[in-house]
């Protein structure tokens, strides 16, 4: 199936700074696609290239088979929810939602009907005559969504849609947002720097850094099979320790020395055959036991309680390792010996050491 | 052609227009100052430099401006502190009355002072009657008289700026100072005043530039005291065109030097955040309350005296007020003739249409400038801003002379046409003088708009025109109204440029006031003044209301 939205070889420069550096993506019809990355990674610029606010220096933007690279935003049929919503403060809720329909020359009665429909969709039925300033942050976010959806765009773009809400409200709004998008089945691209948001909303997630695409995949894929050290560190909790691959082990495993002990680990696509490496360890990759030879010995330096379990930081010869264990299992100052958990597949990865 | 090159093209068109209106006339003045007998020559500059009169006029301009800053500051700043930081009976009334001098156009203010303090004014006659003197007890003229008028009309800048500055100082600033053991005096000198520096610097600059350009006060009360603005007009009336050009250049140089110096001093102290000022301190001592309250009422009423004087004199029939302390007869006829006598209402119509046209054009240019500078961020934006602000730095007399020079010959190849003697020169001059007012307001307005609003309109399918009409302009309304009211009021009451450029057909209100005074028809002069004052006040009040609605 050919993708509904296709970005190929996108390049955007601001002065001598390369904001987007050869991004290529295919987004399937009806999919919710998240662009995730730290600030300055080029995710917002990519979205703005899609909306037409910026023109790429190279590359193409194709939606539904039509090349939109040089099409101005007015003609793109793209709905967008802005980070600060950009609701028109001088128009009331109904007029805001009607704005896009008026541009299309929709008749009066039809406009009223579709405004009503759009507001009902976001659970704000009957608020047509309210002023924007009278709405709470969450309501403003929903009006912005209704306004973007009312003209029935081909694709919906969300720029950090939840960053303006306080954390207590965020989770609920996220759920509602997902429901609305899924109900109408619109192809959606959202930009966020919050992994939770990307994982919760996105069917697939693209991780960007310095204008380049690092990896695209489902949340599970990104967590269990990070394509490189950056993605591994950026997605989920992890510790990194210097290691050395000593050679092949039994079956599909490699022998590795890490923090003075020798282990055998499952091999994956990035594991170097031999030589210096970095070992990425999820909190469940290690298990605390009594200090003994053949175990990574360290001292518990901090504890973060998170309900059924706790995250302990163990200082192993100067390398901080994060270990998940039952809340009462360890206490601060205690000396422990860490052993690999039984199931290390997907929670410990070896990458070539950076040069 | 794509949007980017269209913007560049528009930017260059605007730049060219501004250069033609703002810079080119000044360059022509400079060229004329450096020519004699059809050749480049420093003859006129030498004559200027050798003349003691010229130097004394230039020095007079500078020191009267410095003195005006001192007087206005000494009056305005303490009053602002009084109203903003202390609560006493009559505080609200005083706060309002203190802003009233701002609604008097400069000429009207000067005329009111003439009626009040002049040698045939109320005060002089009163003293003369009481003391049974044969002659008026004083002549209201010279530097002191000018300084008094300047002080009265310009302290409001210090007053308003300081109040705004104080209102933006957060309570926590005072509390922090107090918690660190600073007393009231130390808080004032080490914390509050330094934080007010940008506001005070801004007010000082405004007063200095306004005084330097001031024309009506020295024109009416100068006597033997020379300043450059009146000197230029006098020289020109004598027919010494080239010398007038040199004088014009000298005044421009002083203005630009002052602007440069003061803007360096002004600095950029940013007050962190939008503060919530502490509530004014209640004055508790009963005696002090009575004293402050009484003084507040007295000062407030005294500030209204010029306005009231004008109103009273406007009812005086022609030739009835001779030696009496108070006019003996009153009539409404002065107002009636303003609307019935075509010769009398012509100036009202003239001022109205010329001010409206100039304001509309200045607003339109400012909108274009705002879009290009703030939205499209064209590479030429810096130049557009400088050119828009420039007429503010250059005294009105200078611009009047410059425009009269530029548009006195027909040389289309040099972009010069004869406009002098036509009805178009005066509106053009008002337009140039209005550019900084509308430009400043609209650039600020555009900067306050979230660019995402335009982008939102675009994703919703609205083209440029629809976005402008439905989103940008409605949101710019406060800035539009602020810029337009200020521009209209300035043009409507203009005297400085009008006296140089008017013709009989375009004579504005200000010149009719002067003409009536010359014919000793004080009643009609005052009636015009009252009309000017009321229109200005009404436009300001309407503007403030509409702005409040829009915000």
Q: Which of B324, B350, B359, B397 is nearest to B528 (CA)?
A: B350
Return the residue of B nearest to A97 by Cα. B460
The reported pLDDT for the residue numbered A345 is: 62
Residues of chain B in contact with residue A131, where contact means CB-CB under 8 angstroms, are none
- Do residues A179 and A52 share a domain? yes
CB pair distance less than 8 Å for A51 and B455: yes
Integer Cα distance of B188 and B345 in angstroms: 53
Write the residue in A78, A79, A88 that is nearest to B471 by C-beta.
Answer: A88
Mutate to test the interface with B, among A56, A101, A103 (most CBs of B within 10 A): A103
Q: How far is CA B134 from CA B44, B119, B327, B399, in A?
A: 47, 13, 19, 45
The reported pLDDT for the residue numbered B469 is: 92
The reported pLDDT for the residue numbered B265 is: 63
Return the residue of B nearest to A149 by Cα. B460
Name the minimum distance, in Å, from the CA of A20 to any CA of chain B.
20
The reported pLDDT for the residue numbered B1 is: 52
Write the residue in B455, B474, B475 that is nearest to A73 by C-beta.
Answer: B455
Q: Which residues contact A66 (CB under 8 A, 6 or more apart)?
A: none
Give φ, ψ of A99 to 5 degrees: -55, -50
- Do residues A21 and A165 share a domain? yes
Integer Cα distance of B202 and B157 in angstroms: 9
Integer Cα distance of B19 and B13 in angstroms: 10
Number of helices (H), then strands (E), in chain A: 8, 20
Name the minimum distance, in Å, from the CA of B74 to any CA of chain A.
42
Is the separation of the CB atoms in A78 and A51 below 8 Å? yes
Helix (H, G, I), strand (E, B) or coil at B519: coil
Integer Cα distance of B442 and B369 in angstroms: 8
Residues of chain A in contact with residue B452, where contact means CB-CB under 8 angstroms, are 82-84, 86
Write the residue in B453, B461, B466 that is nearest to A88 by C-beta.
Answer: B453
- Beta strands A212-217 and A204-209 are antiparallel
Name the minimum distance, in Å, from the CA of A104 to any CA of chain B.
7
Name the minimum distance, in Å, from the CA of B6 to any CA of chain A.
15
Of the listed ranges A72-76, A77-81, A121-125, the least confidently predicted one is A72-76
The reported pLDDT for the residue numbered B269 is: 47
Is the separation of the CB atoms in A326 and A345 below 8 Å? no
Q: How far is CA A15 from CA A18, A19, A57, B317, B394, in A?
A: 8, 10, 12, 72, 37
The reported pLDDT for the residue numbered A145 is: 95
Got the DSSP string for B355-412?
A: HHHHHHHHHHHHHHHHIIIIIS--TTHHHHHHHHHHHHHS-HHHHHHHHHHHTSS-BG
- Do residues A15 and A151 share a domain? yes
The reported pLDDT for the residue numbered B551 is: 40
Q: Which residues contact A327 (CB under 8 A, 6 or more apart)?
A: A305, A307, A308, A309, A310
Write the residue in B450, B463, B474 that is nearest to A86 by C-beta.
Answer: B450
Name the minimum distance, in Å, from the CA of A220 to any CA of chain B.
33
Got the DSSP string for A98-112?
A: HHHHHHTT--HHHHH
Return the residue of B nearest to A80 by Cα. B459
Residues of chain B in contact with residue A72, where contact means CB-CB under 8 angstroms, are 3, 458
Helix (H, G, I), strand (E, B) or coil at A227: coil
Q: Give burial (CB, 10 Å; 0-12/13-18/19+) of B226.
A: buried
Cα atoms in the 13 Å half-sphere on the side-chain side of B516: 30
Q: Report chain B (551 residues): mean pLDDT per 10 consecutive residues.
A: 80 95 92 84 86 90 95 92 85 82 84 88 87 84 91 90 85 80 83 85 89 92 88 89 89 89 61 64 84 84 88 89 82 90 92 96 96 90 91 90 91 86 92 93 90 92 90 91 91 93 92 91 92 89 67 40
Name the minimum distance, in Å, from the CA of A26 to any CA of chain B.
22
**Strand residues in A164-209 grouped as ranges (E):** 187-192, 204-209
- Do residues A206 and A319 share a domain? no
pLDDT tens readout for residues A263-305: 888 888 888 888 899 999 999 888 898 998 889 999 999 999 8
Torsion of CA B164, B165, B170, B172, to 10 degrees: -150
Q: State CA A341 to chain mean position distance.
A: 28
pLDDT tens readout for residues A122-152: 999 999 999 999 999 899 999 999 999 999 9
Return the residue of B nearest to A71 by Cα. B2
Q: What angle do CA A165, A150, A127 make, to 5 degrees?
A: 60
Q: Which residues contact B158 (CB under 8 A, 6 or more apart)?
A: B72, B73, B75, B76, B77, B80, B200, B203, B204, B207
Write the residue in A82, A103, A157 that is nearest to B466 by C-beta.
Answer: A103
Residues of chain A in contact with residue B455, where contact means CB-CB under 8 angstroms, are 51, 53, 73, 80, 82, 86
Q: Give burial (CB, 10 Å; 0-12/13-18/19+) of A164.
A: middle
- Do residues A186 and A243 share a domain? no
pLDDT tens readout for residues A25-42: 999 999 999 999 998 899
Rg for chain A, CA atoms, rounded: 25
- Do residues A201 and A252 share a domain? no
Write the residue in B455, B474, B550 that is nearest to A53 by C-beta.
Answer: B455
Four-residue CA torsion sign, A313, A316, A321, A325: negative
Is the separation of the CB atoms in A58 and A21 below 8 Å? no
Helix (H, G, I), strand (E, B) or coil at B228: helix
Which structural domain, as residue segments, surrounds residue A206? 5-231
Write the residue in A73, A84, A87 that is nearest to B459 by C-beta.
Answer: A73
Among the candidates A182, A203, A231, a domain finishes at A231
Residues of chain B in contact with residue A153, where contact means CB-CB under 8 angstroms, are 459
Domains B1-35+331-551 and B49-313 share a fold: yes
Return the residue of A nearest to B455 by Cα. A53
Q: How many CB atoms lie within 10 A of CB B1?
A: 7
Is the separation of the CB atoms in A11 and A58 below 8 Å? yes
Q: Which residues contact A157 (CB under 8 A, 6 or more apart)?
A: A47, A50, A51, A78, A79, A80, A81, A188, A189, A190, A191, B459
Integer Cα distance of A335 and A297 in angstroms: 7
Name the minimum distance, in Å, from the CA of B459 to any CA of chain A.
5
What CATH number has the domain bearing residue A332? Answer: 2.40.50.140
Mutate to test the interface with B, among A75, A88, A95 (most CBs of B within 10 A): A88
In the DSSP assignment, the letter for residue A57 is: S
Write the residue in A79, A86, A104 that is nearest to B455 by C-beta.
Answer: A86
Mutate to test the interface with A, among B449, B460, B477, B551 (most CBs of A within 10 A): B460
- Do residues A144 and A158 share a domain? yes
Residue B455 contacts A where some CB pair is shorter than 8 Å: yes
Residues of chain A in contact with residue B453, where contact means CB-CB under 8 angstroms, are 86, 88
Among the candidates A231, A252, A267, a domain finishes at A231
Domains identified in chain A, total number: 2
- Do residues A139 and A200 share a domain? yes
Pick the CATH number of B1-35+331-551 from 3.40.50.20, 3.40.50.620, 1.10.579.10, 1.10.3720.10: 1.10.3720.10
What CATH number has the domain bearing residue A134? Answer: 3.40.50.300
Residues of chain A in contact with residue B475, where contact means CB-CB under 8 angstroms, are 88-90
CB pair distance less than 8 Å for A52 and B458: yes
Write the residue in B450, B461, B475 that is nearest to A74 by C-beta.
Answer: B461
Residues of chain B in contact with residue A100, where contact means CB-CB under 8 angstroms, are 459-462
Q: How far is CA A300 from CA A146, A242, A258, A310, in A?
A: 51, 20, 18, 12
Q: Which of residues 422-451 of B touch A (CB under 8 A)?
A: 450
Among the candidates A231, A266, A301, a domain finishes at A231
CB pair distance less than 8 Å for A103 and B461: yes
- Do residues A161 and A224 share a domain? yes
Return the residue of B nearest to A86 by Cα. B453
- Do residues A272 and A332 share a domain? yes
- Beta strands A204-209 and A32-36 are parallel
The reported pLDDT for the residue numbered B270 is: 47
CB pair distance less than 8 Å for B452 and A82: yes
- Do residues A201 and A302 share a domain? no
Residues of chain A in contact with residue B459, where contact means CB-CB under 8 angstroms, are 51, 73, 76, 78-80, 100, 148, 153, 157
Segment A80-107 mean pLDDT: 92
What are the domain boundaries of chain B?
A: 1-35+331-551, 49-313
Pick the CATH number of B49-313 from 3.40.50.2300, 1.10.3720.10, 1.10.1280.10, 3.20.19.10: 1.10.3720.10
The reported pLDDT for the residue numbered A354 is: 83
The reported pLDDT for the residue numbered B274 is: 54
Q: What is the ipTM of this complex?
A: 0.81
Rg for chain B, CA atoms, rounded: 25
A75-114: buried (b, 16+ CB within 10 Å) or exposed (e) per residue?
A: ebbbbbbbbebbbbebbbbbbbbbbbbbbeebeeeebeeb
Name the minimum distance, in Å, from the CA of B368 to any CA of chain A.
21
Q: Which residues contact A18 (CB under 8 A, 6 or more apart)?
A: A11, A12, A210, A211
CB pair distance less than 8 Å for A83 and B452: yes
Got the DSSP string for B26-53?
A: HHHHHHHHTEETTEE--HHHHHHHH-HH
Integer Cα distance of B388 and A282 in angstroms: 61
Mutate to test the interface with A, among B459, B462, B465, B471 (most CBs of A within 10 A): B459
Mutate to test the interface with B, among A50, A74, A141 (most CBs of B within 10 A): A74
Return the residue of A nearest to B477 by Cα. A90
CB pair distance less than 8 Å for B450 and A100: no
- Do residues A124 and A179 share a domain? yes
CB pair distance less than 8 Å for A73 and B474: no
């Amino acid at each position: 199936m050919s993708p509904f939205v296709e970005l190929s070889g996108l390049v955007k420069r601001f002065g001598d700074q390369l904001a987007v550096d050869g991004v290529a993506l295919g987004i399937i019809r009806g999919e919710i696609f998240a662009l995730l990355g730290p600030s300055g990674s080029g995710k917002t610029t990519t979205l703005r290239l899609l909306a037409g606010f910026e023109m790429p220096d190279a590359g193409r933007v194709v939606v539904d088979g039509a090349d939109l690279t040089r099409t101005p935003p007015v003609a793109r049929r793209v709905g967008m929810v802005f980070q600060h919503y950009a609701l028109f403060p001088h128009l009331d809720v109904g007029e805001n939602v009607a704005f896009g329909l008026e541009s299309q020359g929709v008749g009066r009665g039809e406009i009223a009907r579709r405004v009503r429909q759009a507001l009902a969709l976001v659970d704000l039925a009957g608020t047509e005559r309210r002023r924007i300033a009278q709405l709470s942050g969450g309501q403003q976010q929903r009006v912005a969504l209704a306004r973007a959806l009312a003209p029935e765009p081909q694709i919906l773009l969300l720029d950090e849609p939840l960053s303006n809400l306080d954390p207590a409200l965020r989770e609920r709004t996220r759920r509602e947002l997902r429901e609305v998008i899924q109900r109408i089945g619109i192809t959606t691209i959202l930009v966020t720097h919050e992994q939770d948001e990307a994982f919760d909303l996105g069917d697939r997630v693209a991780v960007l850094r310095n204008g380049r695409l690092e990896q695209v995949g489902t949340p599970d894929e990104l967590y269990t099979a990070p394509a490189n050290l950056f993605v591994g560190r950026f997605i989920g909790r992890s510790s990194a320790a210097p290691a050395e691959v000593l050679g092949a082990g039994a079956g599909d495993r490699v022998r590795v020395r890490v923090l003075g002990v020798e282990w055998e680990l499952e091999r994956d696509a990035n594991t170097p055959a031999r030589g210096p490496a970095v070992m990425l360890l999820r909190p469940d990759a290690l298990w605390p036991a009594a200090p003994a030879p053949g175990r990574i010995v360290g001292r518990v330096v901090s504890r973060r309680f998170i309900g059924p379990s706790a995250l302990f930081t163990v200082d192993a010869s100067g390398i901080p390792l994060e270990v998940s264990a039952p809340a009462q299992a360890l206490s601060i100052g205690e000396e422990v010996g860490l052993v690999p958990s039984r199931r290390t597949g997907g929670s410990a990865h070896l990458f070539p050491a950076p040069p | 052609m794509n949007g980017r090159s269209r913007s560049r093209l528009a930017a260059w068109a605007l730049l060219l227009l501004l250069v033609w209106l703002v810079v080119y006339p000044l360059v022509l003045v400079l060229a004329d100052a450096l020519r004699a007998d059809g050749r480049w020559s420093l003859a006129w500059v030498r004559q200027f430099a050798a003349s003691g009169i010229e130097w004394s006029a230039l020095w007079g301009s500078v020191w009267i401006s410095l003195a005006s800053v001192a007087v206005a500051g000494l009056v305005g700043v303490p009053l602002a502190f009084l109203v903003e930081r202390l609560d006493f009976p009559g505080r609200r009334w005083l706060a309002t009355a203190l802003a009233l001098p701002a609604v008097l156009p400069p000429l009207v203010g000067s005329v009111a002072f003439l009626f009040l303090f002049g040698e045939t004014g109320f005060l002089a006659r009163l003293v003369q009657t009481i003391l049974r003197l044969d002659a008026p007890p004083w002549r209201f003229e010279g530097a002191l008289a000018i300084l008094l008028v300047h002080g009265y009309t310009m302290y409001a800048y210090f007053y308003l700026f300081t109040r705004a500055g104080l209102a933006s100082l957060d309570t926590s600033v005072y509390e922090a100072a107090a918690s660190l053991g600073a007393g009231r005096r130390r808080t004032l000198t080490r914390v509050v005043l330094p934080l007010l520096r940008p506001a005070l610097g801004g007010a000082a600059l405004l007063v200095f530039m306004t005084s330097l350009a001031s024309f009506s006060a020295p024109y009416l009360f100068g006597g033997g005291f020379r300043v450059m603005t009146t000197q230029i007009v006098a020289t020109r009336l004598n027919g010494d065109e080239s010398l007038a050009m040199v004088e014009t250049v000298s005044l421009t140089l002083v203005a630009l030097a002052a602007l440069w110096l003061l803007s360096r001093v002004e600095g950029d102290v940013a007050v962190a955040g939008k503060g919530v000022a502490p509530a004014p301190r209640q004055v508790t001592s009963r005696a002090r309350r009575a004293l402050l309250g009484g003084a507040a009422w007295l000062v407030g009423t005294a500030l209204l005296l010029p306005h009231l004087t004008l109103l009273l004199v406007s009812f005086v029939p022609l030739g009835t007020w001779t030696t009496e302390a108070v006019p003996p007869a009153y009539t409404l006829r002065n107002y009636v003739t303003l609307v019935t006598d075509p010769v009398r209402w012509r100036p009202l119509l003239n001022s109205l249409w010329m001010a409206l046209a100039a304001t509309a054009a200045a607003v339109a240019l400012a909108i274009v400038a705002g879009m290009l500078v703030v939205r499209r961020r064209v590479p030429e934006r810096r130049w557009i801003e400088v050119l828009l602000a420039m007429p503010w730095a250059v005294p009105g007399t200078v611009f009047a002379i410059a425009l009269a020079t530029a548009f006195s010959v027909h040389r289309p190849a040099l972009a010069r046409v004869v406009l002098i003697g036509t009805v178009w020169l005066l509106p053009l001059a008002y337009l140039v003088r209005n550019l900084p007012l509308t430009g400043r307001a609209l650039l600020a307005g555009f900067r306050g708009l979230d660019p995402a609003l335009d982008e939102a309109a675009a994703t919703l399918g609205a083209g440029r025109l629809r976005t402008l009409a439905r989103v940008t302009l409605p949101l710019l309304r406060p800035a539009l109204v602020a810029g337009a009211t200020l521009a209209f009021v300035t043009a409507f009451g203009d005297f400085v440029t009008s006296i140089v450029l008017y013709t009989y057909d375009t004579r504005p209100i200000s010149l009719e006031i002067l003409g009536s005074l010359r014919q000793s028809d004080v009643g009609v002069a005052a009636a015009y003044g009252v009309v000017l004052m009321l229109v200005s006040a009404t436009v300001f009040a309407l503007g403030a209301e509409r702005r409040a609605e829009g915000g």
